């Protein structure tokens, strides 16, 4: 069994910064891709940023230049550094990961979500 636990959300003023963390735990053999998604009220969940095992990354156009995704493979943890936050970044942020378990089964799992609110 594997799980993702997110942390780091909260309330921040426009122009501020937050850092989200996503820690994977359980019967992990390796982690392929990890990503951050977000869902605002009344909107569909969208990809914010992704990072692959080799370190390559991709970003939504709306966050390029402001957000940075990174990972610490030794800790099975991904991070999302969010700078220059805007009110439109307000959403529940979810971590997602594709994990190869010790049972040699690949699972795609989600974290529980963490609220990010950008408001003055």
pLDDT of residue 40: 96
Q: Give just the sign of the alpha carbon dihedral 89, 115, 49, 21.
A: positive
Q: Which two structure tokens, joined as six digits, stand for 90?
A: 């307000």
> Looking at the chain, how many residues does it have?
120
Tens of pLDDT along 75-120?
999 999 999 999 999 999 999 999 999 999 999 999 999 999 999 9
Q: What is the largest CA-CA distance in the chain?
A: 48
Q: Which two structure tokens, joined as six digits, stand for 8?
A: 């780091």
pLDDT of residue 52: 94
pLDDT of residue 28: 96
Dist CA 54 CA 112 (whole Å) = 26
Exposure b/e, 37-46, CB count within 10 A at least 16 = b: bbeeeeeeee
Tens of pLDDT along 23-72?
999 999 999 999 999 999 999 999 999 999 888 999 999 999 999 999 99
At CA 5, angle to CA 45 and CA 95, rounded to 5? 25
Residue 104 and residue 29 in contact, taking contact as beta carbons nearer than 8 Å: yes
pLDDT of residue 53: 87
């Amino acid at each position: 069994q594997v799980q993702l636990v997110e942390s780091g959300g909260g309330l921040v003023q426009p122009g501020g910064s937050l850092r989200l963390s996503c820690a994977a735990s359980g019967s992990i053999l390796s982690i392929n891709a990890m990503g951050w998604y977000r869902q605002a009220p009344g909107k569909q969940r969208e990809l914010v940023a992704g990072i692959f095992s080799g370190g390559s990354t991709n970003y939504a156009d709306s966050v390029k230049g402001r957000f940075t995704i990174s990972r610490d493979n030794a800790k099975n943890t991904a991070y999302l550094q969010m700078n220059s936050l805007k009110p439109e970044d307000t959403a529940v942020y979810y971590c997602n990961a594709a994990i190869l378990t010790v049972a040699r089964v690949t699972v795609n799992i989600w974290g529980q979500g963490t609220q990010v609110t950008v408001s003055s």
